[in-house]
Amino acid sequence: MLGGIGAQELLLILLVILLLFGAKKIPEMAQGLGKGMREFRKAMKETQDELTKPQSSGDEKKSDSQEKKTDSEEKK
């Protein structure tokens, strides 16, 4: 099954985990693990989006900030 771990060994491991942590703590730990995995995937997606974003958007930001400066200079 999993590198030589059979069904009996897996069942024994799960039973020991249940005895160590208790029935109430295991769902809490699984929920925390799920939240952590979601956050990790979200961060990975945001990073990929940043890397694949076209370079022209950076030029637009620069021109916007330059326009703001000229507007504020005109008001003075």
**Alpha carbons 37 and 58: distance in angstroms, whole number:** 31
Range of the domain at 33: 23-50
Residue 6 is assigned to a structural domain of this protein: no
Residue 33 is assigned to a structural domain of this protein: yes
Residue 71 is assigned to a structural domain of this protein: no
pLDDT value for 12: 94
Considering its fold, how many domains does the chain have in total? 1
pLDDT value for 69: 58
pTM above 0.85? no
Residue 30 is assigned to a structural domain of this protein: yes
Residue 35 is assigned to a structural domain of this protein: yes
pLDDT of 70 above 60: no
For the chain, give the secondary structure using H, E and C.
CECCECHHHHHHHHHHHHHHHCCCHHHHHHHHHHHHHHHHHHHHHHHHHHHHCCCHHHHHHHHHHHHHHHHHHHHC
Residue 46 is assigned to a structural domain of this protein: yes
**Alpha carbons 49 and 35: distance in angstroms, whole number:** 21
Q: Summarize pLDDT for 16-64 with one digit per residue, the tens.
A: 989 998 888 888 989 999 999 999 999 999 999 999 887 655 555 555 5
Structure token digits, residue 71: 């507007």
Q: Summarize pLDDT for 1-21 with one digit per residue, the tens.
A: 457 889 899 999 999 989 998
